Chains A and B, each alone.
Chain A
Amino acid sequence: MREHFTQLSYVVAAVLFILGLRSLTRPDKARHGMQLAAWGMLLAVCGTLVNHEIVDYRWIIGGLVLGTLIGYPLGMWVPTTALPQRIAMSLSFGALAAVLVGVSEYHNAFHGGLVAIDSAHMAALGFEVLLGSLTVTGSMIAFGKLQEVLPSRPLTFPGQNVFNGLLFLAAFVLLVLVIIDPSRTAAFYTMIGIATVLGVLMVIPIGGADMPVVVALLNSYCGLAAAATGFALGNSILIICGALDGASGFLLSMLMSKAMNRSFSNVLFGAFGGETTTAAVAGGSALPVRSISAEDAAIQLAYAQRVIIVPGYGMAVAQAQHQVRELAELIEKRGGEVKYAIHPVAGRMPGHMNVLLAEANVPYDRLYDMDEINGEFPQTDVALVIGANDVVNPAAREDKSSPIYGMPILDVDRAKTVIVLKRGMAAGFAGIENMLFHAPATSMLFGDAKTSLSKLVTEVKSA
């Protein structure tokens, strides 16, 4: 009877999770759908608590309470600008949970003597802890880079790829050994150790701008580790959720690397923006740049009929999304039309810009994807670029020798005039000179994005 209740709660939960994810295809339905999914989660947890294997509830209650106490601030108080590192951190937690369950299962088999482990079971456990431990440390490094505790530039050393390859091979050999004979405990724990190191080494050489791909990929690993847990425990809801999570992460990382015109292997092993490109930057800085004052920029904006705002990571760093919306409202009040162009890899994680602008009360039907809006730039009076660089670099379209050639970009350079808000003339994360900044139609408004935008707001008001 109890067993049936548990299984039934899992079936209902699985349906609610899938419906919740499906609701994310519609922004107006999404909130309700995800609330249903949360109820599904509660149901699944209740269904598990009646499990006859559970004899002692003290640790469970303690864990649930402590987890809620940590989870609440992570859900309610983390600012939207810190979302990428917040997600990276929770990937690390999720993977850690999978690893610990795997280790405790393995430990029980050899110390409690209650469960015998066959090879299939061991294969699932092995994959679970291997992928899990790799994700734990990999996500922690990603978190460190996004939080800028660690340098966000790629950290490389000679022979890195060969070294990582050997480590991976070693972990794989140990996995095979453990599957053949599950009683090789030393091999099991060494494998965990190697995977932990591998997680660090895999993410350390990846630069800040490539983080969207990495975070999505870690998301996928985390899902696969959860699915492997399901195989190891013979628990179908875990398999289903792991598969959903894995598919989502994999799909997102595919989309992201496509939006950067790079292959997976290139992101993971390429260490973009090394020494070769710094020379190009040094050579290019002699090109002319037209700087503009906030007053002049405000006049252009005040009399523009069609304006497209292109936000980038710089807007997130300066937390300028509220000023952006204020400026857009002023332009609209004066009769202009304002749209937002969002590049798929703008920011540090997929869709980050959309959340920031939504937070600042920008209606989501003004936010346009790259493909939807690229045709409109030629009819645009002013394109306002806020802290974006590589995603608007025309070299991606024109210069075959450029490292970013072929990457889909926003065609900002086709607008009648372009105003770029930027701190200084530093190159983007790819370290590549941007000819857009030297184009005759472009004026540069230097300074912190938030300060510049506040000035623009004041000036447009009085214009």
Chain B
Amino acid sequence: MSLAWVNSVMPQLVMTVGLMVLLLVVAFRRSHALAMTLTVLILVVAGALIPQSIASGGEEVFGLIRLDGYGQFFNGLFLLAAIVTVLISFRYLEHRASNCEEFYMLILTATLGAMVMAAATHFATLILGLEILSISLYAMICYPQEGRLPLEAAAKYLVLSGVASTTMLFGMALIYAASGSLSFSALGQPIDSQGDNYYWVGQGMLIVGLAFKLSLVPFHMWTPDVYQGAPAPVTGFVATVSKGAVFAALLRYIVMSDVLSNASVALGISIIAVGSMVVGNLLALLEKNIKRILAFSSIAHVGYLLIALLVVAELDDPGIARETTMVYLAGYFLMTLAAFGVISALSISSNGEDNEQLADYQGLFWRHPILAAVLTTAALSLAGIPLTMGFIAKFYLFAAGVQGTLWILLWALVIGSAIGIYYYLRIVFTMTQSVATDGSMRAYVAPKETVVTAGVLGAALILFGVYPTPLIELVRGLITAFGA
């Protein structure tokens, strides 16, 4: 057996070793700046090793994980999101926690968990990655020592996420009982007709568990509270890395196990998709809290993305589904992180709560033009308006849906987007209005590194919105290099 697989898992190994190094460094010398720098360094090195890892073949390692272009693309995205989260957390944490260093270890473990999930081809690695990710997130959500909301959010997330994990585990057990395998590729069908019922009940429970993590309707109740309660940088991390990892794993599972060939599974997922698009957007209309708006918006966005998943059943080649998911999630990562970057930048000096009410953003265009421009870009991008990457992403979904002839879902996408425009526009409108002169507005000091990070994300949104070809070429290259 060759050692090529070591090369393949190099990014994950660097993360693991880096984690231990950080642990030791913090044990000997507590310095917030040092811990932050070291974390960024580890993430950058891991990211830099990804191309080499892709070049070394992308084979399946021990039948547990496969490090192909698809998985490594997501790993790159997770690392990028982690770097952004570290950069926007730095000043934010300084004002909220006395010991900030451990936070970075949690970011590293959470990212590692996500990286394992995106590559998982086996139930064992799937659940392992998911738990590493989730357990780190509980601690990250309630990391600030002051305030009741983070604690409430963490408790809610802990309980509900735990329920979802156990549901999934039970589902996996049933599938195993019926098919005799835990590997994605080997569990296409139950062994005999007796196992049939177990098998499909198991599949249902597995999908319900994943839908919980993706906060799809009707399993979305926890989302707004957790988004609101968690510190803004962590919310951004939950919205991107956690959802992205689960979705990447779900798509790989769907493609490899071919469960969508069962019409009722496809119908169930379609209903969940339409429900998420419509309910997510409608509930967002009622909110005045920007974090809660983004929570409902993320529900709708994952609902949209399910179109890419459902295309798998309609077309022989899962390439378009992969491509759409990769482009869409890349766009979704950038715009969500940009939005939470702005919220974090504006919430530095507001002790306790974040600046998260819409009213706090009144006149932002005149108080801080750069942050206002970034938030506008992010909002328009989330709404799917051209010039921004959100449009390219939505265009991809349309193109995939039309190819898969999923007309009903496309109508839901049109209706959902139409409703969505209203609340995204309300954010933009609030920012354009004059600043209240009665002194009721809270002051804020936006730290430079947060502003720069958000600015870079905003610029990337426009750049890829106007000229997406490099990204598309990259994604297509990664897919064609590895086949199905």
* A complexed with B: no
Which residues in B have some Cβ–Cβ distance to A below 8 Å?
A: none
Residues of A participating in the B interface, judged by any CB pair closer than 8 Å? none
